[in-house]
């Protein structure tokens, strides 16, 4: 079995992040280091990757698992090239996020938590993404898509498919 380790560039960033915190408080670097790890290891955090993070921070693996499993921004299973996260909190729900989720499930032929057979799309529901005034909304990568309608969702999916044809990596 191949040993999992950070690239030199990512390890340098991890060490820079750790130095932001006082000695003995390296656990405070956990959230940003999990972001680095997720970016480095194909968009998700396997148990082996979380164990690596724990060893670097000199904390127990369970401490990493607890944090990674609490926040929806961390993926504990492989995800598609385009991770579509639909907000399901009150304001979005009141303005039709359930309809958007159902539409995406039908359009992509997957359920929430699944990835399309071609590995292109993963659909998740998440708690508040902080865009209540423009509900319903979703996030794909770092971009918010707001005031959604089924037509806007269809256009987004087609744009993402077109972008994938031009680029081999969307995350």
Give the residue numbers of the binding site for [2Fe-2S] cluster: 87, 92, 128, 132
4 secondary structure, DSSP code: P
Six token digits for residue 134: 């423009």
What is the C-alpha separation between 58 and 101, in angstroms, rounded?
Answer: 40
What is the C-alpha separation between 95 and 103, in angstroms, rounded?
Answer: 14
117 C-beta neighbours (distance < 10 Å), count: 10
45 secondary structure, DSSP code: -
Going by the annotation, the residues of the binding site are: 87, 92, 128, 132
């Amino acid at each position: 079995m191949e040993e999992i380790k950070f690239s030199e560039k990512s390890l340098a960033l991890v060490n820079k992040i750790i130095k932001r915190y006082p000695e003995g408080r390296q656990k405070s670097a956990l959230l940003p280091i999990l972001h680095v790890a997720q970016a480095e290891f194909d968009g998700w955090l396997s148990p082996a990757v979380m164990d690596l993070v724990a060893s670097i921070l000199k904390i127990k693996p369970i401490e990493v698992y607890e944090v990674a499993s609490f926040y929806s921004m961390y993926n504990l299973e492989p995800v598609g090239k385009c991770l579509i996260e639909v907000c399901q909190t009150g304001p979005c729900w009141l303005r039709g996020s359930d309809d958007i989720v159902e539409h995406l499930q039908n359009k992509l032929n997957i359920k929430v938590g699944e990835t399309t057979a071609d590995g292109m799309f993963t659909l998740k529901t998440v708690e508040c993404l902080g865009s209540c005034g423009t509900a319903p909304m979703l996030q794909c990568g770092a971009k918010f898509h707001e005031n959604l309608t089924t037509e806007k969702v269809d256009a987004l999916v087609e744009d993402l498919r077109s972008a994938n044809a031009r680029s081999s990596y969307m995350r």
